Amino acid sequence: MSSFSVWAPAAADKVEVEVAGRRYPMSRQGDRGWWSGDVPDVTAGIDYGFSIDGGDVLPDPRSLRQPFGVKGLSRTYDHATFRWTDPSWRGGPLHGSTIYELHVGTFTAQGTFDAAVGRLDHLRHLGVHTVELMPVASFPGHHGWGYDGINLWAVHEPYGGPDGLKRFVDACHDRGLAVLLDVVYNHVGVGNRLDAFGPYFTDAHVTPWGPAVNLDQPGSDEVRAFLIGNALMWLRDYHLDGLRLDAVHALEDRRALHILEELAAEVQALAARLNRELVLVAESDTNDPKLVTSREAGGYGLTAQWSDDFHHAVHAAVTGERQGYYCDFGSLAALAKTYTRVYFHDGSWSAFRGRSHGRNVDVFRMPAHRFLGYLQNHDQIGNRPAGDRISATLSPDLIKVAAGLVLTGPYTPMLFMGEEWGADTPWQYFTDHIEPWLAKAVAEGRKAEFAGHGWGSAEVPNPQDEATFLRSKLDWTERNREPHLGIHAWYRELIALRRARPELTDPRLERVRADFDEQARWLLVRRGRLRIAANLGTADARLPLGQPGIGLLAASSPGVAIEKDEVTMPPAAFAVIETRAPGPDPALRCLLTGACLRALAYGRRPRLGRSRRKTIRTVCSAVMLARVTQPAVRMCCCTNSGACVQP
C-alpha cells in the first residue's frame, strides 16, 4: 500500500486521488484540512492527481515531477534513488566568493542541465566559486525566465527534470563550485489551481501579481509550511548550497515572526543537521539592512542581499544614462557613497520615488560580503526594452573599467552569464505562455509599458516569439575572438587578483576610503595598501596615491604609469596599484629623534618622562626601527619602550 496525502481545506465533501486512471477515496485527517488515502500496488514513477468534490483531476501542489507540463498529472519520484558522489562536500561560504548567475535555457544551445555541465570547466577556469541558477521550478510552456512557476516542488522537465538538476549540482561540487537556486515565493504563476485546494492566496493584500500569497491570514500556517518545506527540500534533497529569494519586499506578512526570519531559523537548523554551510540571499527593493542583520541583533538573519544601488551607481557613471531609476545616480559622489556606505538611498531623498528611501548601514558592524555587487544581472539586462547588454553601449575599455569597479569592490561580486567576455547576444524577455489570452496580454502590456518611455513598438521584441528566446542564447564562439578574448582575460585577471590579495576580500567597510574628482571624472579607492584607480573622463588624469606606489598589480591600459606617489591614468582606464606601507607619523618621529639626541648630547642615558614614553610607544615599532638607522635613536627606543631591534 502507498499513502497519498494533500492539504485541501477547500473541499466540502470529498477528496479523491486518481492513480493510473482509477480514483480512490481519501479521508479527512483532523480539523486542519488534511486528507489522506491508501492505494494498493503503486509502482515507482506512477502518474496521479487529486479531485476536489468530484471536480477535474488536478496536479499535486507538492508534486515532485510534472512530465506532462503544469496542467498534467503528477508523477511519483523517490529522491533516494539518485546516487550522489559529493559526500565530502561541506558547502561554499559566500564571503570571499565570486558568483556567476546563469539561465539554464539560454546558457547553452541545448538549454539543459546536462549541456550546462559541459561548460562548468569554463567557469572553474574563470575563477568563480558559486553558480546561481535562475528559477527551475516547473513553469508554463517550454521556455521562459522561470519567475512564473506553477508547480513549485517540481523541476522544469525541458531542462532535464529532477535527476538532471541533481547531475548538475553533483558535477558542480566535483569541480569545487557551490550552487544557489533562485526561488519565487512572492507569487505563483497565472494558471495555477492552488485556490481549489485551500487559501493559498488572500485579498487582504494586493501585489503586482494580484492577491498576495497568504502568509498572515486564516489558513496561513499551512501556506508558510508549504513554502518553508519547499525551501528545505531544495537544500536537502538536491544538495543545493543556498537559495536566492526573489523580491522579498513583495512578501506581505504582518505576523510578529516574519516568514523570512522563520525561514532563516529553519535553514540554520538544517545546516547544523547536514553539517553543511547553507546560505540565503535576498533580492529586496527596500534598502533595509535588517534583512541581513543577525536574528540575535533583531534582524531576519539572512546571509546576504542584492545591492541595486551599487549597480545603478556603477552603470550610470560609466554609461551616462539618467532615465528611470538612474536619475538619482551618475555622479562620482554617488559611486563613492555606494562603494563605502552600501546604499546611496540610506534614508535620503529619491527623486525617482518622490520620497525618502532606505536606511543607513552601520559600516562598523555590518560586513561588506553580506551585499552583492554587480555590473549586470538578468533584471538589469532583460528589463531593458531590447534586452541589450552593457557591451552594446560601452567600448571594451569602459567595460574593463566597469568590471574593475565591481571585482575589486568590497561586496561579493556577481557576474551574469556571458558578461565575462562581453557577449554581443542580447538577453531579452521571453515567454511561452500556453493560454492565448495571457500571451497576448503580456506582449501588448510590455509594448505599452515602454511606449510610455518613448520606445516604438517595433523596438520591443514580442516575448511570445520563439525568435526572442533563441536570440538570447549565448554564442560561445565569440569568446575566441577579439575584443571578447581580451575582455575575458581581464575578468580572469581581476578574479585571480581578488583571490590573491586579502585587501580585496576584507569585509570591513570602515577601512574603505574613496576620493574623487567630479569634474575630471576620476575615482580613487583606498583598500589597505592597495589603490583602485578609475578614470572615466576624456583626458589623462593624475591621481594622488597618498603613499609611494611600488607596483602595478593590474592595468586595463598600457598608458597607466606610477610616478612616486601619483599615478597617471589615460582616459577610460582602470588600475590596481600597490603602495608602500606607511611609516610612523613624521611629527612623532621628530619628537622621538630630537628628544633622544638632545639627551645623548648632554651625556645622560636617554630616558624620557612617563607621559612622553606613552606618546612614543606606538612609534617605536619594528616598522619604525626598520626606517630609522641612527644607533642613538634605536637605543632611545630600546630604553623607553622596550622595542629593541638590533641595527
pLDDT tens for 474-528 read: 999 999 999 999 999 999 999 999 999 999 999 999 999 999 999 999 999 999 9
Of 36-50, 408-422, 443-457, the poorest mean pLDDT is in 443-457
For residue range 53-77, list pLDDT tens digits in order. Answer: 999 999 999 999 999 999 999 999 9
pLDDT at residue 508, as a whole number: 97
Q: 246 catalytic, yes or no?
A: yes
List Cβ neighbours of 92 (8 Å cut-off, separation of 6 or more).
129, 130, 177, 178, 241, 277
- Short-list 368, 390, 415, 423, CA closest to 131: 415
pLDDT score of 637 more than 90: no
The pLDDT of residue 603 is above 60: no
For the stretch 522-560, pLDDT in tens is 999 999 999 999 999 999 999 999 999 999 999 999 999
Segment 79-88 shows an average pLDDT of: 96
Please tell me which residue in 283, 379, 419, 578 is annotated as part of the active site. Answer: 283
pLDDT tens readout for residues 229-279: 999 999 999 999 999 999 999 999 999 999 999 999 999 999 999 999 999
Instruction: Name which of 241, 378, 364, 353 is nearest 287 in CA terms.
Output: 353
Mean pLDDT over 292-301 rounds to 97
> Which pLDDT does position 259 carry in this prediction?
98
> H helices within 249-331, ranges in order?
259-274, 308-319
pLDDT at position 458 is 74
Provide the pLDDT confidence category of residue 453 given band limits of 50, 70 and 90. Answer: low
Within 10 angstroms of residue 206's Cβ, the number of other Cβ atoms is 11
pLDDT on residue 639: 54
Q: What pLDDT shows up at residue 622?
A: 41
Candidates 47, 246, 253, 503; catalytic one? 246
Query: Is the predicted pLDDT of residue 601 greater than 70, yes or no?
Result: no
pTM: 0.90
Residue 150: the pLDDT is 97
Report the interhelical angle of 259-274 vs 220-237 (nearest 10°). 30
Least confident span in 181-185, 428-432, 520-524, 592-596? 592-596
* 284 vs 245: CA distance, rounded Å: 9
Cα–Cα distance for residue pair 416/426, rounded to 1 Å: 12
Instruction: Check if the beta carbon of residue 494 is closer than 8 Å to that of residue 407.
Output: yes
Q: Tell me what pLDDT residue 451 has.
A: 79
pLDDT at residue 163, as a whole number? 98
Fold of 2-58: Immunoglobulin-like (2.60.40)
Query: What is the rounded average pLDDT of the residues 385-406?
Result: 97
Per DSSP, the residues of 573-620 read EEEEEEEPPP---HHHHHHHHHHHHHHHHTTS-----HHHHHHHHTTS
Confidence of residue 464 (pLDDT cuts 50, 70, 90): very high
* pLDDT for the residue 1: 80
Q: Are residues 39 and 4 in contact, defined by beta-carbon separation less than 8 angstroms?
A: yes
Using pLDDT thresholds of 50, 70 and 90, give the confidence band for residue 646: very low
Region 302-306: mean pLDDT is 98
Domain boundaries, the chain: 2-58, 586-641
- Would you state the pLDDT for residue 276? 97
Active site includes 288?
no
What is the per-residue pLDDT for 455?
73
Residues 143-185 have pLDDT tens digits of 999 999 999 999 999 999 999 999 999 999 999 999 999 999 9
Kindly report the average pLDDT of the chain as a whole number: 92
Average pLDDT estimate for 31-54: 94
pLDDT at 588: 54
